[in-house]
Amino acid sequence: MTINLSKGERISLEKVSPGLKEIFIGLGWDINPTDTGGDFDIDASIFLLDSSEKLISDKHFIFYNNLSSPDSEKSVQQRGDNRTGAGEGDDEIIDMKLKTVPPEVDKVAIAVTIHEADKRQQNFGQVSNAFVRIVNYENEEEIIRYDLTEDFSVETALIMAEMYRKDGEWRMNAVGAGYEGGLQALVERYQK
């Protein structure tokens, strides 16, 4: 059974799915057909953060040019870049082995950004039905979902959700925070 979160809600993955070892994070969206007419390229990014909420290193920034975390287990991996968002379901997917994420990773920020948004005159106000969901990798059962309902008329970057450790277990926070400045704005926020 899926737990649907609202903005600002937090939940323990252990309480929702006891013994959970591996998940995938699915992100999806639709482009409003009457807007720019140009192609949208929305990208998922993951920021692996330390206890001060800063990137541990540049290699802990997972995106289309760096598809996996630097640990030997490659505990966080992006499956690849969907450049159109066409089709139903997840547009981009990140795999996460919860038990092998290195202990120095306190928080995982899950973000989406519009590639070349300024050049293409695009923003998240032209996007609808955006969601992030947590799925049990073993049985592909959706366990947590957050559907974004706000209208982001100037924002070109969104922090969709955060996963963080508390009392030895992983939890999810539905964030839904928008930023102007695209991917660069988020990189600057999290860099040391």
**CA 46/CA 183 separation, integer angstroms:** 11
How much is the pLDDT for 128? 83
pLDDT in tens, 100-151: 999 999 999 999 998 888 888 888 888 888 899 999 999 999 999 999 877 7
CA dihedral sign of residues 55, 60, 64, 65: positive
* Residue ranges for the chain with pLDDT beneath 70: 33-38, 81-88
Tokens for 54? 């800063």
Q: Tell which phi-psi region holds residue 131, choosing left (phi > 0), alpha (psi between -120 and 50) or beta.
A: beta
How much is the pLDDT for 151? 77
86 in helix, strand or coil?
coil
Tokens for 175? 């964030």
The pTM is what?
0.91
How much is the pLDDT for 86? 53
Q: Where are the alpha helices (DSSP H) in the chain?
A: 13-16, 117-120, 182-190
Tokens for 26? 């699915």
**How many H-runs (helices) and E-runs (strands) does the chain carry?**
3, 12
**CA 192/CA 187 separation, integer angstroms:** 10
How much is the pLDDT for 83? 52
- Pairing mode, if any, of strands 3-5 and 141-147? parallel
What is the C-alpha R_g of the chain? 16
How much is the pLDDT for 48? 98
Q: Count how many domains the chain has.
A: 1
Residue 53's domain spans which residues? 3-190
Give the bridge partners for 68, in sequence order.
77
How much is the pLDDT for 6? 94
The domain that holds 166 is classified in CATH as: 2.60.60.30
How much is the pLDDT for 49? 98
